[in-house]
Amino acid sequence: MSPSGAEFIRQIKTQIAEVDPADVHSKLDGGANGNGGVAVVDVRESDEIAQGHIPGAKLVPRGFLESRIEGAVPDRSQHVVVYCASGNRSALAAKTLSELGYEHVESMTGGITLWKDRGYKVDVPRKITAEQRERYSRHMLVPEIGAEGQYKLLDAKVLLLGAGGLGSPTALYLAAAGVGTIGIVDDDVVDLSNLQRQVIHTTDRIGTPKVESAEITMNALNPDVKVVKYETRIDASNIMEIIEGYDVIVDGVDNFPTRYLLNDATVRLKIPVVSASILGFDGQLSVFAPYEGPCYRCLYPVPPPAELAPSCGANGVLGVLPGTMGLLQATEVVKLIVGAGEPLIGRLLLYEALGATFTELKVRRDPECAICSRDPGEISDDEMGVFPDYEAFCATAG
C-alpha cells in the first residue's frame, strides 16, 4: 500500500540530516566571510520569499531545484542548508540534493517560521511589481544577475555621452535591461544620414533633437526608465554639473577634446567610463575605472594630429559596427552595475569587422600620467581637458 503524503515525508526525513535554526544562525553569525562557508538555499516559491528570507540565502524554488542548483551552488562539496516554510519541502529538497551528489546537505527544522519565532534576522526583498517580475524574468533567472542584480540595475544611474552611433544601441539595451535612470547628452538633431546606424531614431523624427527622439523610443520600450535629457554640448563649463551623481558613464562621443575632458572629469569624480570608438570597420573598447585601472590618458597621453584622426562623418563607418561596439559597451555597463564577471579594465579590445577578428591588448596605468597619477583633489578646473590647440584640432578633424 502506498504511503500517505505525510508518511512519505516522514520516511524521507529519516534518510536526510536535519539541523536546528539555532545551529544555522550560529554558523552564519560566526562565519569569517559572512556565511561560515555555508550555502543557505531557500526552496520556497517567490510569493513566499517576498515575505522575507534568511539574509544571504540563495533563492531556488523547489520546482526548479534540479535545473538551477548548480548555478546557485556549483561546489558539491560545500555545506548546504536547505529551508522552506516549515521543514517539509526542504526535507524533500535535501533528499534530491543528496541524490544529485551534494555531499553535506541539511534541512532546517521548522523552516523560516521557526527561524522567525526565534527572533533571528530576516531580509524582506524589495518589492517589485508583477509586471516588472515578468519583464525582467530572464535576468532573474541568470545566477550572476538574479533579483539582487536587477534591483541594482533599477537603482542605477548611467549617463550616455552621445545619442549617435554608439549611444543608440547602448541606450536601447540599457533601457530594456531596466537601468532606472539614463541620462543622455547630445545637442544634435536627427539627420537622414544618421539612420543607417543610429537605430534609436526614426525617419519621421528627422529634425527632432536626438535626446527627445531617444527618450520616445526608450520610454516606448520600457516605461520604468527615467530619461534625463541634456540637449547641450558637453564642455569644461558644464561637465562637472552634468556627470556628478552618475554611477557609470558611456563614452560614445565623436571627438577627441570631449574624450579627454571626460577622462579628466571622471578621474576627479572617480566615475568609471565604458569607452568605445569606431571608424570604418574597426572598433576599440575599454573600461576606464579611475585609480583601479588605467585612464584614457594612460592609454593615449596625447591625441593624434588631425590627419590621423578622421571622424566617421568624414570617412564613413559600417552601419552595423556601432551596434556591435555599442552592445559590448552596454554589456560592460551591466557587468559593472551588478558586479558580475571581469570588466574590461586594463584591457583594450580591438574588433576588425572585415576580418571578423578580436584582439586584446594590455593597458597599464602610467605612473607619469598627467591626470590619474595624482589625487583627485589635486586636479583643478583649469587643468581639465586642457589641450591648448584643441579648438583648432577640432575644426580641422571635424
The shares of helix, strand and coil residues in the chain, as percent rounded to the nearest 5, are 40, 20, 40
Q: CB–CB of 253/259 below 8 Å?
A: yes
Q: How far apart are CA 71 and CA 141, in angstroms?
A: 10
Side-chain half-sphere exposure of 45, counting CA atoms within 13 A: 2
Query: Applying CB under 8 A, which residues contact another protein?
Result: 162, 164-167, 251-256, 259, 276-282, 284, 299-305, 308-312, 315, 317, 322, 348, 350, 352, 354-355, 359-364, 397
Compute the Cα dihedral for 50, 55, 59, 62 and give only its sign.
negative
Please name the amino acid found at residue 202: T
Any idea what DSSP says for residue 85? S
Burial class (CB in 10 A: 0-12, 13-18, 19+), 327: middle
32 vs 356 by CB, closer to another protein: 356
Q: How far apart are CA 234 and CA 195, in angstroms?
A: 23
Q: CB–CB of 107/10 below 8 Å?
A: no
Q: For residue 324, how many other CB atoms are within 10 A of its CB?
A: 18
Any idea what DSSP says for residue 284? E
64 vs 300 by CB, closer to another protein: 300
H/E run at residue 71: helix 65-72
Residues ≥6 apart with Cβ < 8 Å to 154: 128, 132, 178, 179, 180, 224
Name the minimum Å distance from CB 196 to another protein: 14
Name the minimum Å distance from CB 261 to another protein: 12
Compute the Cα dihedral for 341, 342, 348, 349 and give only its sign.
negative
Name the minimum Å distance from CB 252 to another protein: 4
Active-site position among 84, 298, 312, 372 = 312
151 vs 300 by CB, closer to another protein: 300
Task: Judge whether 312 counts as a catalytic residue.
Answer: yes
Name the minimum Å distance from CB 307 to another protein: 8
Q: Which three cell numbers stand for residue 315?
A: 570617412
Nearest to 27 by CA among 57, 62, 68: 57
Please name the amino acid found at residue 150: Q
Compute the Cα dihedral for 382, 388, 391, 393 and give only its sign.
negative
**3-class secondary structure, 250:** strand
Active site residues per annotation: 312
